[in-house]
Amino acid sequence: MARIRVLTALKIKHLKPGMHADGLGLYLKVRAGNTKSWIFRYRTGGRLRDMGLGPYHTVSLAEAREKAEACRAMRYKSLDPLNERHKEQQAKKIEAAEAITFEKCAESYIAAHKDGWKNGKHADQWTTTLQTYVYPIFKDRPVAAIDDDLVLKVLQPIWKEKTETASRIRGRIERILDWARGKKYRTGDNPARWKGHLDLFLAKRSRVATVAHHAALPIDEMPGFIQILQQEETVVARAFEFCILNATRTSETLGMRWDEYDEKSQLWTVPGARMKAGRDHRIPLAIRSQLILAEMQEIRTSDFVFPGGVNERPLSSMAFLMLLRRLERHDITAHGFRSTFRDWAAERTDFPSEVVEMALAHTIGNKVEAAYRRGDLFDKRRHLAETWAAFCAGTTANYG
């Protein structure tokens, strides 16, 4: 008859390294260095298995016997104690994952990716759109519980009226849920995916979206507007005029540094890191643009050509908008002046469209055309820049 309850506290104190049976599958394993741990040994499917029950300094002899008894009860029911423990651990992991909210996942996703986004404003844009449209619907919901109905509840009310915004929100939800699945916080298909899923419930963007153009100044009003700007003796006005003359985006002008300007070559090179297309953009500067830079050089206070009120910082991204408001021009936008430039070039000049598009730093959509057009048409664009500057000044020029 097998001996049971063999071990005592006194015996355990003097045990040498090895496996020491207490009976009915319970063992105390003593290792070199006198470390001790409890083991429940059993056989299943012809295989001998050892299940750890905890270290001796934490689990007493009485507690070890209780744990061994629970294991024997499982064996009586033809269950494998190790497998049951694994199932319990997995269930706890799932329970913990289900407690992680969508908001928490969104915050973690943004934190993990914001350093890689080219535009520093993207993190704020993500947070703002989520707070406005998504969080009111499922901010505190477990990320594992986000389903088709919840996603559609966010998108359907704004899909027609705010199609572009809704489309971006859908993409952001999809990325966050993909990230959560990668972290094992949820399983199954992504309810925010478009192809073969949401495209069955929502109309195509091209069918419902209305193109939102930036409000542009009419061509014939340009000389008068430039004259008003020139009467403004502020850094913002000089920056705005410079931006218009070079048909650049607001961020490209406001972020301009002195080391980007080659005075000898009358050239401004915008680094690819600050360009939408991700490539360096060479801009030939008209005489008026050079005069503006000479004026800014006289009051230079930092590495930025158009410094803001804070040391070593450029003008605020809102500077042009605030200037337009002060001039009571609520009907136009800073970005709209690029449209005015393009309309002027198309309607009032004979400059080829590829020269104008290159001046605007637009990406060439046709891959074949892009492969053959390797230059940047620089000399032709210098002529275009001077012609545009002359028009803005209200003087005549030899167009085209």
Checking if the pLDDT of 399 tops 80, the result is: no
260 or 207, which is more confident? 260
Report the CATH fold assignment for 102-208. DNA polymerase; domain 1 (1.10.150)
Residue 97's pLDDT is: 59
Q: Do domains 9-97 and 102-208 have the same CATH topology?
A: no
Checking if the pLDDT of 38 tops 90, the result is: yes
Q: How confident is the model at residue 400 (pLDDT cuts 50, 70, 90)?
A: very low
Give the up-direction half-sphere exposure of residue 323: CA atoms within 13 A in the CB hemisphere.
23
What rounded mean pLDDT belongs to the chain? 87
> Looking at the whole model, is its pTM more than 0.85?
no
Checking if the pLDDT of 75 tops 80, the result is: yes
Q: How confident is the model at residue 119 (pLDDT cuts 50, 70, 90)?
A: low
d(CA 292, CA 242): 7
Q: How confident is the model at residue 209 (pLDDT cuts 50, 70, 90)?
A: low
At position 61, the amino acid (one-letter code) is L
CATH no. for 9-97: 3.30.160.390
Contact 169, 134 (CB under 8 A): yes
d(CA 134, CA 153): 9
312 or 78, which is more confident? 78
Report the interhelical angle of 235-245 vs 222-231 (nearest 10°): 150
Which range, of 130-139, 309-318, 333-342, averages the lowest pLDDT? 309-318
pLDDT digits (tens, 9 = 90+) for 40-57: 999 988 899 999 999 999
User: Measuring CA to CA, which residue among 310, 301, 320, 333 is closest to residue 253?
Assistant: 320
Residue boundaries of the structural domains of the chain? 9-97, 102-208, 219-393
As a whole-number percent, the residues of the chain with pLDDT over 90 amount to 63
Average pLDDT over residues 174-198: 92
Report the CATH fold assignment for 219-393. hpI Integrase; Chain A (1.10.443)
